[in-house]
Amino acid sequence: RIQVGVPVYLYDGNNRVVGTLATDECGVAKFEDLVPGLYSVQAVKPADGNAQAVATTVVRQGQTVEALLNVKR
């Protein structure tokens, strides 16, 4: 089931929040124009704040990266 409005946080390699979005009507949150580096993406299911999913990736120059996060209880 697609989750709309789920908070998604983008962390840099120093574990600092560098972006926050909410998922759209398709369940997508898209961070754009990132400088190359190490990032983590965290999605937290807003109903109770306990269910979450985390993905870590390296963004290289000119690269597009997709991270699929499946948030379950």
Q: What is the pTM of this model?
A: 0.77
What is the C-alpha to C-alpha distance for residues 38 and 41, in angstroms, rounded to an integer?
10
Task: Look at residue 62 in the predicted model and tell me its pLDDT.
Answer: 76
Per-residue model confidence as pLDDT tens digits over 21-73: 998 888 888 888 888 888 888 888 766 555 667 777 777 877 777 776 666 55
Separation CA 31–CA 72 (nearest Å) = 22
1 — pLDDT class (breaks 50, 70, 90)? confident
Residues contacting 47, CB < 8 A, separation 6+: none
pLDDT at 14: 93
- State the pLDDT at residue 50: 59
3-state SS assignment for residue 11 = strand
